[in-house]
C-alpha cells in the first residue's frame, strides 16, 4: 500500500518535529560569548541546525540549561541537509567539587564543633 502525503502536510510535520526537539532539549553550546542550541547529542558529538552556525571549531562549553556539563574540543564538522554534525576529540566532564588526591573516609566529620 502506498501512502501519499502532500507537500504542505509534510512541511507542517517537519516544523512540528523541529519545534518538539527545540522544546525538549535544553543542551546548548557556549563559545566566544555566543549561545547555540543543540538539536541532538551522542557520545562522540552533537548536531545543530545548519542555519544556526556554519563553522564551529576549538574549545566550547556545553550546558544543560544553567548547569555547566562539559568542555569539548571540536575537531570535525559535516553538513548534512539542514543539520551540522560536530565531532569532538576531547570531552571533559565538569566536576561540582574540586578533585582530591586522597581517599575520603565515609564517616569523616563534616564540620568542627568547638566547645
User: pTM of the entire structure?
Assistant: 0.64
pLDDT reported for residue 1: 47
Task: Give the chain's residues under pLDDT 70.
Answer: 1-2, 18-25
pLDDT reported for residue 99: 80
pLDDT reported for residue 87: 92
- Annotate 21-62 with three-state secondary structure: HHHHCCEEEEECCEEEECCEEECCEEEEECCCCCCCCEEEEE
The residues pairing with 67 across neighbouring beta strands, listed in sequence order, are 64
Q: HSE of 49 in the Cβ direction (CA atoms, 13 Å)?
A: 10
Rounded Cα gap, residues 81 and 96, in angstroms: 38
Parse the chain into domains and list their residue ranges.
32-97
**In the numeric block, which cell numbers belong to residue 28?**
546548548
In terms of phi and psi (left: phi > 0; alpha: psi -120 to 50; beta: otherwise), the region of 58 is left
Rounded Cα gap, residues 89 and 30, in angstroms: 17
Amino acid at each position: 500500500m502506498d501512502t501519499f502525503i502532500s507537500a504542505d502536510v509534510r512541511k507542517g510535520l517537519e516544523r512540528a518535529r523541529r519545534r518538539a526537539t527545540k522544546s525538549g532539549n535544553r543542551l546548548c553550546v557556549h563559545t566566544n560569548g555566543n549561545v547555540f542550541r543543540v538539536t541532538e547529542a551522542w557520545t562522540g558529538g552533537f548536531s545543530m541546525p545548519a542555519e544556526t552556525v556554519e563553522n564551529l571549531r576549538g574549545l566550547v562549553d556545553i550546558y544543560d540549561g544553567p548547569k555547566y556539563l562539559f568542555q569539548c574540543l571540536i575537531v570535525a564538522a559535516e553538513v548534512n541537509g539542514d543539520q551540522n554534525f560536530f565531532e569532538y576529540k576531547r570531552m571533559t566532564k565538569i566536576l561540582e567539587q574540586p578533585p582530591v588526591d586522597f581517599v575520603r573516609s565515609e564517616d569523616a566529620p563534616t564540620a568542627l564543633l568547638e566547645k
